[in-house]
């Protein structure tokens, strides 16, 4: 066994010698026993093989075993025809199968040969042809799938090599099996020819050479021929069965026996149906064995149900143990530290809005919100997580930013919200409420009142639209908090793909990613779109070498985006605005304190309150007139005046003179003074 290649070579050489050199009957008996044992070994290995490639040498085995059987056929034919004997193994097989009845033995012998040739051998040959064809046709697709997995990172280079090698081995194996099955087929044909030669040649030799009668010769040579045929055909039959098993075997995790038992005896329902069929056949066939089989099938069905219940309980227990084990793992505490940027929690009565099976389209509206804000503000809105919360009242919803509640509202799913834009002709009956996004007075009305409300001039919206509008406004107010450095990196990479020069000039030589984030946050804080990232980065590249103050850099960027900013708030070519008294501007500038961390206003609280109150009074007049309140200030003062008023007057628009489009006509309707 130390040199296996030498052993195989010696085996092949001896096979050739057996064909040429005469062999005594005693040695033939030993060789026939070896042939039967070898065939059994191959069959058992085929049954326990998990897949075809585990016996990749099977085509070569077919060649050697066929050649070995042919040599034994030649040896036995030489002994039968020449001496009228072929050893005890062949004679014992002939007598045992025939039972001292030549006709019965001959018929059984013919049946075995026909079954092997027409059923098993032909079937194995056809399956091998089809398997080889489909395996070769599927090779390009398998290779492409391996390359796709490698490119996507699902597998590494070593795994890709192993999978390619396996695909190649499968193609080689099934191609070799397609040719090797011809050995089995032709071996069966040769067995038929050898049988005819043994009988005819034996009769002639017995009557001519030995002078025996026809009856004696027929009995002697027929028994030997049947024995010889069976001794060779039975190993051949075993090899043919092994061939059929190999070429029809699909890849599996277990051997053939386990697969067959598991797949046949897998469903209790199948067992019960088969048992019922046996009972139905009982009055027709009148066989008590049918009742025995039916009882056995029922017993198997009951056992299968018990086993599945036990397996189900074990699986549930295993899952529970895994969950407990997962909770106990120290690293799982890290997942609890994750804070969702945007969350929408709702009570159980609002769940239908987010359930597509119940006609809810809230998920689609959330997607549209992200698209709308991307077009409007040029920013990537984080994923909005929707979840139910049983701690809320049934009709309540809550909007959270970074885990903190910032807004809430209540809905009535079977009602619509009607709002009076100021032009409604008369009051409409309903349940008083307030629109959650803007705080406008509204009423809840039934669907049947919708047409009448719209005819009276009311704006009517459904609950999903209310939530979507509220969510949009909340995100707009807090989008500057949600802009992360990773989002900025994504925006910068998007610009770099088309304008690499401006990015390479600015980052990281002049400004860091964090400084750019602060500038973009300042813009978003006042509702300025950052879609024009090229202009923003070019402006920063121009002024960042002069000052590192991100607030001042923001003002330079606003001036570069002036046309877009002014057109956002001033739709017509003329506008009425409020200006600041030059003395007030100077007072604000004198109150500015600059530090390394930035600048801030250090002003007497009483004075700042007086300024804010005066600005509120003037803007209120514009609001009552139906106009957007806008305050104009000098470029240096604009930023600080906005910071002074943003908490008390969050909706106030403060522009600088340098941000105005030169084509606009501006008229002052008031002045904020000290």
User: What are the extents of the domains in the chain?
Assistant: 15-263, 265-316, 342-476, 483-560, 570-674
Output the CA–CA distances (angstroms, integers) from residue 36 to 39, 227, 558, in the order listed.
5, 14, 94
Distance of CA 177 to the CA centre of its chain: 36
Q: Are 437 and 408 in contact (CB under 8 A)?
A: no
Q: Render pLDDT for 295-312 as a digit per residue (tens, 0 to 9).
A: 888 888 888 888 888 888
- Give me 217's structure tokens: 């010769």
For residues 672 and 654, give the distance between their C-alpha atoms in angstroms, rounded to a whole number: 13
Spatial neighbors of 340 by CB under 8 A, at least 6 apart, are 385, 400, 402, 403
Bridge partner residues of 595 (DSSP): 598
Q: Which residue has the higher pLDDT, 422 or 435?
A: 435
Q: Which residue has the higher pLDDT, 564 or 119?
A: 564
Q: Are strands 592-595 and 431-434 parallel, antiparallel or unpaired?
A: unpaired
Q: Are 672 and 614 in contact (CB under 8 A)?
A: yes
pLDDT at 96: 65
Q: Render pLDDT for 502-535 as a digit per residue (tens, 0 to 9).
A: 888 888 888 888 888 898 998 888 888 888 889 9
Please count the CA atoms within 13 angstroms of the CA of 381 that sit on its side-chain side. Answer: 27
* Mean pLDDT of the region 640-649: 82
| pLDDT tier for residue 259 given thresholds of 50, 70 and 90 | low
Q: What is the pTM of this model?
A: 0.52
* Mean pLDDT of the region 463-491: 88
Residue 252 has pLDDT above 60, yes or no: no
Residue of 412, 452, 407 lying closest to 431 (CA atoms)? 412
Task: Give 625-655 as a DSSP string.
Answer: TT---EEEE-HHHHHHHHHHHTTT-TT-EEE
Spatial neighbors of 641 by CB under 8 A, at least 6 apart, are 580, 588, 631, 633, 654
Distance of CA 549 to the CA centre of its chain: 48
| pLDDT tier for residue 365 given thresholds of 50, 70 and 90 | confident
Q: Which residue has the higher pLDDT, 559 or 133?
A: 559
Alpha helices (runs of H) in 153-213, residue ranges in sequence order? 157-208
- N residues, the chain: 674
Same fold, 483-560 and 570-674: no
Q: By mean pLDDT, which of 151-160, 289-298, 390-399, 514-523 is the weakest? A: 151-160
Q: Are 400 and 461 in contact (CB under 8 A)?
A: no
Spatial neighbors of 277 by CB under 8 A, at least 6 apart, are none
For residues 452 and 442, give the distance between their C-alpha atoms in angstroms, rounded to a whole number: 15
* Mean pLDDT of the region 489-514: 87
Residue 104 has pLDDT above 60, yes or no: yes
Kindly state the percentage of the chain with pLDDT values over 90.
Answer: 0
pLDDT at 66: 77
pLDDT winner (highest mean) among 150-154, 481-485, 599-603: 481-485
* Mean pLDDT of the region 217-238: 70
For residues 655 and 367, give the distance between their C-alpha atoms in angstroms, rounded to a whole number: 32
For residues 178 and 174, give the distance between their C-alpha atoms in angstroms, rounded to a whole number: 6
Q: Which residue has the higher pLDDT, 57 or 641?
A: 641
Helices 513-525/550-560 angle, 10° precision: 60
Residue 116 has pLDDT above 70, yes or no: no
Task: Give me the chain's average pLDDT, please.
Answer: 78
Q: Render pLDDT for 269-282 as a digit per residue (tens, 0 to 9).
A: 777 787 787 777 76
- Roughly how many angstroms between the first and final C-alpha of the chain, as a whole number? 108
Q: Which fold has domain 342-476?
A: Glutaredoxin (3.40.30)
For residues 390 and 563, give the distance between their C-alpha atoms in angstroms, rounded to a whole number: 49
Residue 445 has pLDDT above 50, yes or no: yes
Residue of 425, 54, 63 lying closest to 251 (CA atoms)? 54
The continuous run of DSSP H or E covering 298 comes out as helix 288-328
- In a 10 Å sphere around its CB, with 0-12 CB exposed, 13-18 middle and 19+ buried, how is residue 413 labelled? middle
Helices 562-569/550-560 angle, 10° precision: 70
The continuous run of DSSP H or E covering 618 comes out as helix 605-624
**DSSP state, 411?**
-
Q: Are 482 and 381 in contact (CB under 8 A)?
A: yes
Q: Which residue has the higher pLDDT, 597 or 622?
A: 622
For residues 529 and 525, give the distance between their C-alpha atoms in angstroms, rounded to a whole number: 10
* Mean pLDDT of the region 235-251: 70
pLDDT at 655: 85
Cα torsion 617, 618, 620, 623 to 10°: value is: 180
| pLDDT tier for residue 251 given thresholds of 50, 70 and 90 | very low
Q: Render pLDDT for 170-202 as a digit per residue (tens, 0 to 9).
A: 777 767 766 666 666 676 677 667 667 666 666
For residues 550 and 517, give the distance between their C-alpha atoms in angstroms, rounded to a whole number: 9
* CATH architecture assignment, domain 570-674: 3-Layer(aba) Sandwich (3.40)
Bridge partner residues of 386 (DSSP): 344
Q: Which fold has domain 483-560?
A: Helicase, Ruva Protein; domain 3 (1.10.8)
Q: What angle do CA 410, 415, 419 make, to 5 degrees?
A: 80
Q: Are 668 and 577 in contact (CB under 8 A)?
A: yes
Q: Which residue has the higher pLDDT, 77 or 418?
A: 418
């Amino acid at each position: 066994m130390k040199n296996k290649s030498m052993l195989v070579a010696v085996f092949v050489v001896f096979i050739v010698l057996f064909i040429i050199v005469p062999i005594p009957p005693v040695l033939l008996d030993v060789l026939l026993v070896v042939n039967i044992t070898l065939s059994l070994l191959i069959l058992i290995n085929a049954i326990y093989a998990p897949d075809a490639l585990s016996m990749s040498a099977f085509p070569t085995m077919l060649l050697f075993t066929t050649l070995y059987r042919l040599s034994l056929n030649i040896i036995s034919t030489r002994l039968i025809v020449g001496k009228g004997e072929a050893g005890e193994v062949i004679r014992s097989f002939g007598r045992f199968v025939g039972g001292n009845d030549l006709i019965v033995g001959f018929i059984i012998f013919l049946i075995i040969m026909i079954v092997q040739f027409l059923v098993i051998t032909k079937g194995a040959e056809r399956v091998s042809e089809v398997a080889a064809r489909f395996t070769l046709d599927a090779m390009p697709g398998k290779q492409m799938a391996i390359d796709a997995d490698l490119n996507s990172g699902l597998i590494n280079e070593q795994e890709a090599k192993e999978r390619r090698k396996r695909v190649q081995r499968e193609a080689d194996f099934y191609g070799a099996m397609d040719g090797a099955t011809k050995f089995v087929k032709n071996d069966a044909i040769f067995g038929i020819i050898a049988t005819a030669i043994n009988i005819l040649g034996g009769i002639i030799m017995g009557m001519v050479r030995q002078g025996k009668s026809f009856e004696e010769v027929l009995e002697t040579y027929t028994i030997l021929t049947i024995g010889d045929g069976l001794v060779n055909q039975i190993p051949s039959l075993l090899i043919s069965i092994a061939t059929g098993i190999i070429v029809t075997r699909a890849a599996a995790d277990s051997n053939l026996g386990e697969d067959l038992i598991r797949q046949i005896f897998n469903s209790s329902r199948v067992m019960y149906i088969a048992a019922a069929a046996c009972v139905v056949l009982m009055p027709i066939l009148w066989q008590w064995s049918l009742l025995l089989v039916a009882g056995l099938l029922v017993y198997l069905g009951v056992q299968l149900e018990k086993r599945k219940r036990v397996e189900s309980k074990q699986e549930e227990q295993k899952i529970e143990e895994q969950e407990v084990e997962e909770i106990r793992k120290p690293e799982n505490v890290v997942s609890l530290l994750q804070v969702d940027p945007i969350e929408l929690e709702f009570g159980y009565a609002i769940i239908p809005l987010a359930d597509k099976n119940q006609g809810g389209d809230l998920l689609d509206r959330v997607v549209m919100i992200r698209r709308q804000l991307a077009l409007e503000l040029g920013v990537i809105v984080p994923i909005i997580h929707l979840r139910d919360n049983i701690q809320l009242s049934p009709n309540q919803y809550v909007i959270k930013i970074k885990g903190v509640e910032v807004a809430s509202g209540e809905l009535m799913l079977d009602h619509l919200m009607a709002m009076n834009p100021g032009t409604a002709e008369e009051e409409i009956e309903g349940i008083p409420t307030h629109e959650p996004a803007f705080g406008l007075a509204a009423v809840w009305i039934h669907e049947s009142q919708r047409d009448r409300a719209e005819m009276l001039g009311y704006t009517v919206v459904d609950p999903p639209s209310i939530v979507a509008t509220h969510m949009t406004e909340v995100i707009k107010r807090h989008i500057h908090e949600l802009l992360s450095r990773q989002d900025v990196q994504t925006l910068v990479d998007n610009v770099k793909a088309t304008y690499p020069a401006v990015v390479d000039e600015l980052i990281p030589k002049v400004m860091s990613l964090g400084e750019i984030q602060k500038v973009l946050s300042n813009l978003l804080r006042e509702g300025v779109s950052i879609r024009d990232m090229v202009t923003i980065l070019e402006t920063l590249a121009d002024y960042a070498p002069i000052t590192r103050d991100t607030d001042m850099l923001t003002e330079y960027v606003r001036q570069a985006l002036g046309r877009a900013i002014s057109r956002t708030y001033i739709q017509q070519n003329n506008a009425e605005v409020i200006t600041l008294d030059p003395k007030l501007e100077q007072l604000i500038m004198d109150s500015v304190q600059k530090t390394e961390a930035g600048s801030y206003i250090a002003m007497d609280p009483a004075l700042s309150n007086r300024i804010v109150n005066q600005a509120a009074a003037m803007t209120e007049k514009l609001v009552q007139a139906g106009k957007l309140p806008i305050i104009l200030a000098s470029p240096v003062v604009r930023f600080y005046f906005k910071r002074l008023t943003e908490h008390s007057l969050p909706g106030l628009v403060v522009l600088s003179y340098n941000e105005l489009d030169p084509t606009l006509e501006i008229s002052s309707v008031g002045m904020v003074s000290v």
